[in-house]
Structure 1
């Protein structure tokens, strides 16, 4: 997406996280309404792509749903690229199934067994002897890395690698035995709940099952799969990006973040 046209010192390129891309577009559109001398180009493709774009001098802001890894940190040091790190919102990863799926909640151990491929069918979880179909992201996705790390697994080799949250949502809607993961902000779009079921998650049997859409639980830090959302900005780009970051942190920016299904950092 491209908004506006202007000189290079007010032309901002934002690349990266697919989890954040819809939110970034909303923020940019509203920022442009009061800062029409700026132009902002926004694209997704995954956190890894955004970070690589910074390393290659092809972006001013990398949206990322994960922190930098050790290899990336070393590359920035080697190339003498200094970064500012902004944590501008919080997201909860939602695990989704078809609307009529015979399960409302799952514990972390069961999820680990499903997504790792240890369970090939749903029989031990739902009693139904139907194959598990996993809709996931590619390895350059921050959400892929986040889920993998939280569950301490390697994903099943049979997992489908989708380009983004929207594709995962569409796949799961059509698949009676599918399971996928998306950013909670994708569950509510334009105030309309998507035709999928969001599973509640419990860390272990006997503990409360919590929804990623439960704002009070998220604010209390109780959901197992909640995480900060990052923006990495080279110091050489800070001058032209600073006004946009200030807008995000202002009253309207914070309202847009909340209204888009994301959470404010307290």
Structure 2
């Protein structure tokens, strides 16, 4: 009986010592913008190597999904490629009695993707609006060959969808626009479709060509680049945001401070987006 008792005590001591020696890593969750997934994953990868006691989990789903997760308390940070809405701000304030925290962390030149075989290389904002609203349906109407334009776009929960709609299309998208679940899917569709056109973050433009964008018919076409985003000559640029329901503290603050540091900002260029300065 006593031997069994002592064995139990010894086993309990071993479990306690083991638990103290190998503490569970602290966890920071990030959810939201698909545009920002590859950037946040890179940030997380580098930061975790420098801070092995901190674990960062990054998932997408869209800006609206990320902010909804922030509101319901299932994520620490919400990534968003659009500004938070007043309604979302009020929901956070009502539930947590706090004002939401907005942190601009990078810049993006929202790209318009064309198939490499498409002879069209530049379009005005007005032409893009007419194309994605369904007013222009054939490439010959914008200087291309006689072929139907195939539209590819994001789902309505996407911040990229909202930004492109608000700043370019300025009306409802054409019913013929094929909705896809992420920017990578749009790029893949345009890559395979000679007559396709899509939009999304500049970092995803692999295997397709960026369309030069013109403010109007008299302007010259501009490609998204670090220089054209910095001097604001590229017409479709935006900030990328992180949102929190309260001021960051502890490991979360450490991570965000690092993102905004010179080292964290340099990583943005490696991924294909643009630093704040």
**Fold match by TM threshold 0.5:** yes
Partner of 1:172: 190
SS of 2:60's equivalent in the other structure is strand
TM-score, normalization: structure 1?
A: 0.91
Q: For the Cα contact (< 8 Å) 2:89–2:99, is it kept in 1?
A: no
Specify the alignment match of 2:208 in structure 1.
196
- Residue aligned with 1:19, SS: coil
RMSD: 1.5
Q: Which residue of 2 aligns with 1:191?
A: none
The offset of 1:6, in angstroms, is 6.1
Tell me what 1:106 maps to: 123
Q: Which structure shows the bigger proportion of residues in helix conformation?
A: 2
Of residues 18, 23, 35, the one that matches 2:34 is 18
Taking the aligned partners of 1:239 and 1:52, their CA distance within structure 2 comes to 23
1:231 matched to 2:248: no
Q: Aligned runs of 1:224-263 on 2, under 5 Å? A: 224-235=235-246, 238-263=249-274
Q: Determine the C-alpha separation between the residues in 2 that align with 1:238 and 1:195.
A: 41
Q: Counterpart of 1:235 in 2: which secondary structure? A: coil
TM-score (norm 2): 0.88
Query: Deviating runs (4+, > 4 A) in structure 1?
Result: 5-8
CA distance in 2, matches of 1:71, 1:203: 31
Please state how far the C-alpha of 1:129 moved relative to its aligned partner. 2.6
Kept in 2: contact 1:101–1:197 (CA 8 A)? no
| Alignment counterpart, residue 80 of structure 2, candidates 36, 39, 64 | 64
- Distance, in Å, in 2 between the alignment partners of 1:101 and 1:223 is 21
- For residue 92 of structure 2, the aligned residue among 76, 80, 84 is 76
- Report the Cα distance in structure 2 between the residues aligned to 1:238 and 1:62, rounded to whole angstroms: 16
C-alpha displacement of 1:83: 2.0
Bigger-Rg structure (1/2): 2
Q: Check conservation: 1:60, 1:237, Cα contact below 8 A.
A: no
- 1:57 and 1:7 map into 2 onto residues whose CA distance is 21
Equivalent residue number for residue 45 of structure 1: 61
Q: Could you say if the C-alpha distance between residues 174 and 228 of structure 1 is closer, same or farther in structure 2, counting changes exceeding 3 Å?
A: same
- Distance in 2 between residues matched to 1:133 and 1:195, nearest whole Å: 17
Counterpart of 1:149 (choices 166, 170, 174) is: 166
Of 222, 228, 231, which aligns to 1:210? 222
Distance 1:7 1:114 in 2: 52
Residue in 2 that maps onto 1:186: 204
Q: Structure 1 unaligned runs (5+)?
A: 188-193
Alignment-derived partner of residue 44 in structure 2: 28
Per the alignment, residue 190 of structure 1 pairs with none
- Note the C-alpha offset of 1:74: 2.0
Deviation, 1:238, is 3.5
